[in-house]
Every structure is written in C-alpha cells, then in structure tokens.
Structure 1
C-alpha cells in the first residue's frame, strides 16, 4: 500500500515539476519491543530526477534534543541510540522515504521529520512532522487446538502475526513436565503481514485433563503468552453404583413396601448417555450426564432381580450390574413359619396314623 501510494504520488512529479512536498502521517503508534513504521512519500523538482540523493530522518525527543535517526549515505552519522535499528522500507528513487525503527522503546517516542539532499542548494527539509507514540506490548499469540483424546497423538498450533520484518520473534511451548513433545516452526508472508507458526505434537493422557499448555512469543525486550487449558476426552471409567444409604455395592437389599433409590455414576468426557436396564428392557435413560438415579416408590417382590447400568460416549462403553433383593416383613415371615410348622405337624400326625393302621391290620391277619 505504501509503495502504491508513493507511485501515485510520483505521478504528480511531472505535473507539479517545481514542487517540493511530502506526505507522511502526523501520528504513528507503535508497540514497545516491536517496530515502528512511518509511511513517507516525497516530491521534488523534476530536473533532479536522475541526481543522486541522500535521505535523512531526524528525531526530536521529549527533551527537544534533535538527533539523526537514519542516514542513507553514512550510518556512522546516526545517533548511537538508533544505529543498526533504522532503515528505509522503500527506495528513495521511487519517491518512497518510509522509515522503519526496529525494537522500539519508550525512548524512541518523539517527533520525526525527513530531509533529502541532492547536493549544492538542492536540499529540502519537509515540513510535515510525525509524532511517534510508543505503547505497552499487549500482542499475544493465538492457540488453535485440535480435539484431544486420551492416548491419541494430536497437534496444537500457535500463531503470531506482525508487520515487523526486522527482528523475528521466537515461539516456544511450556507443556506438562512428563509429556515428551516436539514442535515445528515456519513463517509465511501475506502483504505486509508476517505469520509465525509453531505446531506442537503430543499425546495427551487422562492425567493431563485440566492442565495447561502455554505458547510464548518472545522479542529481545518484551514477551507475552497465551494459555490453553487442556480438555482431554476419554471413554467412561470408574462406573459405580450407590444405594440410597450411600453404600457402594453390587447387591442392594430393601424390605418389601419400602422405597429405594440406586445411583449410577461414572467419569467421562464428554458426558455419557446413561441407561438403566432390567431383563433386557430399558427403564430409564439420560443424555449428556454422568449420573442417573433409578427409584422405586414402593418395592414389591416382582421388583427383585438384576439391574444393569450402561454408560456410553463416543469413545467407549462401560457397564455394571446390581442385584436387588426384596426382603419380606417380619409378621409375614412369622406367619409363613407358623404355616410351615402346621403343615409339618399335619404331615407327622398323618404319618403316625397311617403307620398305626398299617401295623394294626398286619396283626389281625396273623
């Protein structure tokens, strides 16, 4: 965009051949530690088109001290605070006098103006002054995670965009200490934007669920980071069955007529579809939950039997059985015992009578 602007600006050179004029913004803001760009186009009398020239940028700091920030002909004339940090992003002969300052600090804030020298009296200081302001470095990298499943290799991408093509940033990762990792790095450019990319390869485990991955971007004087809390998906595990009294068991015994509640709970991510089954029939189902109650308002002997809890998500299935026993009331149990004793007594008496009749008949026959 800057070069196109300067090209259009230079077209006016032929029309306004006697003009000295420049075009640079009155205000530019840069981030501490990155670079500052001051776009600049300049025009001069056309008879100087083929003349050699020298471009100079001056800086007037907050203490009104004027120093040379950039000198295209002799860099030794530059102030020591600017040496090896300033350059032109364009070509002077193309009417482009845009200045770049790398590794900007708060001390670089101030006024900047451009001067061109063709030799003799053909020198000109352009009157438009640019105020450079330097703010805190707040730019952060961006993390793009893939879906994480326990035990399966995955890649996580971190990118950082900048328009500064001087000092390159460094992207690094901070990962769980026990996780071996590897990372690849690349840089691409689109227009004036440079994109630095780091791709991390790792194999997450269940224990990494909730732990942090950190991508850091570092310049010589500033740095920032982005944190990703790892969400590791895994199949159902630790399925447990708990009765209404809090006991965790595969057998539950409840008196007939009483109410009962049995809880099926499981650990998983994402949450499971839970189902209670009995004799192959689905009794109760819930979706995207890790808990499911099965309730009996009033137990009967027909409720006794084996019940099965099944937990399922996209990564696997878990199941567990519980045996429900329905106990009889004490009065009913006593009645049944008495009835059994009466029946036994009747049988015994009948046996005695039959035996006596048998032996009596035998004696008569003799």
Structure 2
C-alpha cells in the first residue's frame, strides 16, 4: 500500500514525458554554399495546444550559459551574429513543424543542434538528443537531359538541379555559342521533400553545330558548378567526294589496259552512312564504317569501262556522285610509242649520213688546195716527204693546223649546200 503512490507517480511522469518528444535525425549532411535542412517534428501536452509558443535552436549539445543561438522565432536579435539573416523555420510551430533551415552553409556551421519550445505560461522543453550537422565541399552539379538532336528540328534541352532545402533558390543559366541561338524558360517543381529547379533551352540545330558545347551553370551566393554537353547533331549525308591517284578530269579518268587503279569515296554524316560502289546497276563494293569506301580495280580491261556511282545513305537521307572510267587499248598505246621511236631513229640516221657526205666533200676539196700549194712553192718537196699525207681515212685533222693559212680562205663545206630544213625534210 505504501508503494502504490510511487507507482502511480512514475506512471504519470512516463505518460507526461511521452507527450514531450521530437522526431529529428541524428545526422544531417550539407555542402558549403548550399543550404541545410534539419527536419524536426515535435509534440507537447494537449493542454498547451492553444497556448502561444516560440521556437529556439541552439548550436550546442545542451543548454548552457552563453550557448550560441542559431534561431529565435520571437526575437532575431538574440541570434548569434554569424547566424543572423541566414536561418528560419520551414514550417509552422502550431502544426508541430520545427524544421530548421540554414542558408549559405559554411564550414563553421558544422556541429550539434537541438530544438527548444517556450510557452507563454512559462513551460519550456528541450528536445534531445541533438542533431549533428556535417559540412563538406560543394560537389553537386546540374544534370542535362537531351533528346535526339536532328538537323532542322526544334528540340528542348533541359538542365535540372535537385535540392531538399527551401532556402536560397539557385540560378540556372546557359552558356551557349552565339551561333546556337535559342530561347530559355525556367521553372521549379516539388516531389515530396525535393525541389527540382529546371531550365529548358529550345533550339533548332544544324550540322555546323555538331561538336559545339552547351554549358548549364547552377549558382548560389558563394558557390557554383556546371555541366557541359557536346552537341551530336544528326544529319543526312553531305559533301560526298570521289578521289583517285589517277588524274580526274571532268568526272572521268583514263586507264591503260592492264594497269591498276583505285577509287576512294568519302562523305560527311551523322550517324555514319552506308556507302557502296555501283557499276552497271550492280553493287561492286560496300562499307558501313567511318563514312568512306574504297574500290580497287587491278589489271584493268575494257569490261570495267563505264560509269561508277558512289551512293551514301543513312536514316536521314542519301546522296550520290559518279565517275566514268575509259580504258585505252595497250596495242594502240604501244604502236604510237614505237612509231615515235622509229621516227626519231630515222631522223638521226639521215642527219648523220648527210653530214658525212658534206665532210667527205670537204676533204677532197682540201687535197686539191694542198697540191696547188706545192706547185706554188709554199713548201719544198723535202718538207712534203718529211710530212707526207697519209691515207685520207687516217689523216683528217692531223696536219690541218700547219696549213691553216692555206685553207682559211676556202670553205671546206662549200659543196655542201644543205640547210636544216633539207636535212630533216624526210623525217
């Protein structure tokens, strides 16, 4: 009987203590420059439901003198200087929502936080345990969603950034090349406790935009980050080109029979085109890699002559071009070369023969002048015997210098009156 009052008192205290409780996490993580949200829902005795109350958040493990105040709903002047104008409640205390928001988080904001409620009738309660706030560097980046980007078709490229904090809203902006004009629209949506900020860039791409970059930047008062997208514009084949090691003239090449040749066809497109070579309506070679195809034609014959078409196509269109191969018969080519060689040989032979005749006549004329010189006493018979004339086939030019004065008045070629035209007249 003596123990019964103590049992009832303990039960009453337990019931009352259960009415003073809060639902808060043990740990919360936030990044520098963003905002932190410490979720909090509290309860209190029902007899206080209609009483005015104020909420206080301490930046400490428990109440102690001069403990820093992060938030005070009644008088913001009680807040520590470093928290002033950066903190607030995300809900209404009357609804049991005591969630704390801290904007523009710094490394100094890390530490324990607990909530205290103060009623007008003087009843107060501190809700433990405290929540530990962990602060890390800012690493979050926006996300870019892009549909298929097709030449000439309007498309929407969306940049989003998610946050669970209802503090300072981020700014989403686009950095795009001046030759990629577009319009921008921004919005914010909420899914549960997550806020999604979106920026939509609408543009009409062209092939020249392929490979250019678009950058979406998210900015807070003290930090920012960005994500970049390289445009992959899909477009139909264009700028088809046919090349060859042999000279191409007026979309045609001439090949001597028996020789080899090769044709190379390339094109620009995305995605890659299927390319093929056609001759007389039949596909003779094809390729589906890196926008090019090569056609080898070894030991050319007259049967390979004609038009060759290169066709390139992908899902967005097709383009083609052609080249004509003419085959020259080897017999004709060799006959022309042989004829030219014979002509050159005959010309040289005839010219040499005519020059020989001229020189021979000149020698005979020189001998006549020598006899006249003997009779005139220019030199004695003894001298003649000392320097006799040898056979004319052996002596041409040996003694000429000695008697140059005798012959200089006469032209050794005086009987050879042939000009250049006469020599080559029959060539």
Q: Given the two structures, how large is their TM-score scaled by the length of structure 2? A: 0.69
How far is 1:26 from its partner? 2.3
* Other-structure match for 1:26: 26
Which runs of structure 2 are paired with 1:196-275 in the superposition (5 Å)?
Answer: 196-243=197-244, 245=245, 250-275=251-276
> 1 CA distance for matches of 2:28 and 2:21?
20
* Other-structure match for 1:41: 41
How far is 1:118 from its partner? 2.4
Residues 1:187 and 1:23: Cα distance change in structure 2 (over 3 Å): closer
How far is 1:45 from its partner? 4.3
Relative to its length, the structure with more helix (as a share) is 2
> 2 CA distance for matches of 1:150 and 1:44?
64
> 2 CA distance for matches of 1:306 and 1:49?
95
* Other-structure match for 1:348: none
* Other-structure match for 1:89: 90
> 2 CA distance for matches of 1:65 and 1:138?
35
Q: Provide Cα deviations, 1:107-159, integer angstroms capped at 9, x if missing partner.
A: 21122122222256622323312211111111111111122233333221111
8 Å Cα contact 1:40/1:97 also seen in 2: yes
Higher relative contact order (CA 8 A, sep 6+): 1
8 Å Cα contact 1:304/1:326 also seen in 2: yes
Q: Provide Cα deviations, 1:155-207, integer angstroms capped at 9, x if missing partner.
A: 21111111122211111111112333211111111211111111112222322
Q: Provide Cα deviations, 1:305-361, integer angstroms capped at 9, x if missing partner.
A: 1111111122222211111122333587429999xxxxxxxxxxxxxxxxxxxxxxx
* Other-structure match for 2:398: none
* Other-structure match for 1:293: 294
Residues 1:148 and 1:246: Cα distance change in structure 2 (over 3 Å): farther
8 Å Cα contact 1:32/1:137 also seen in 2: yes
8 Å Cα contact 1:277/1:283 also seen in 2: yes
> 1 CA distance for matches of 2:311 and 2:127?
80
> 2 CA distance for matches of 1:121 and 1:153?
65
2:16 pairs with 1:17: yes
Residues 1:198 and 1:121: Cα distance change in structure 2 (over 3 Å): closer
> 2 CA distance for matches of 1:99 and 1:47?
25
* Other-structure match for 1:342: none
SS at match of 2:108: helix
2:155 pairs with 1:154: yes
Q: Provide Cα deviations, 1:274-310, integer angstroms capped at 9, x if missing partner.
A: 1211122222222354111112232211111111111
> 1 CA distance for matches of 2:17 and 2:332?
121
* Other-structure match for 2:51: 51
8 Å Cα contact 1:182/1:200 also seen in 2: yes
Residues 1:165 and 1:176: Cα distance change in structure 2 (over 3 Å): same
8 Å Cα contact 1:18/1:46 also seen in 2: no
SS at match of 1:127: strand
* Other-structure match for 1:194: 195
> 2 CA distance for matches of 1:66 and 1:247?
90
SS at match of 2:74: coil
2:138 pairs with 1:137: yes
2:185 pairs with 1:179: no
> 2 CA distance for matches of 1:52 and 1:65?
25
> 1 CA distance for matches of 2:184 and 2:213?
17
Residues 1:14 and 1:317: Cα distance change in structure 2 (over 3 Å): farther
Q: Provide Cα deviations, 1:65-92, integer angstroms capped at 9, x if missing partner.
A: 7311111221221122222221222333
Residues 1:335 and 1:73: Cα distance change in structure 2 (over 3 Å): closer
Q: Provide Cα deviations, 1:46-65, integer angstroms capped at 9, x if missing partner.
A: 4434332221101149xx97
Relative to its length, the structure with more strand (as a share) is 1
* Other-structure match for 1:346: none
Give unmatched runs, 5+ long, in structure 2: 1-11, 340-427
> 2 CA distance for matches of 1:66 and 1:296?
91
SS at match of 2:16: coil
* Other-structure match for 1:107: 108
* Other-structure match for 2:363: none
8 Å Cα contact 2:140/2:225 also seen in 1: yes
How far is 1:255 from its partner? 2.6
Give unmatched runs, 5+ long, in structure 1: 1-12, 339-366
> 2 CA distance for matches of 1:315 and 1:119?
74
Residues 1:33 and 1:246: Cα distance change in structure 2 (over 3 Å): farther
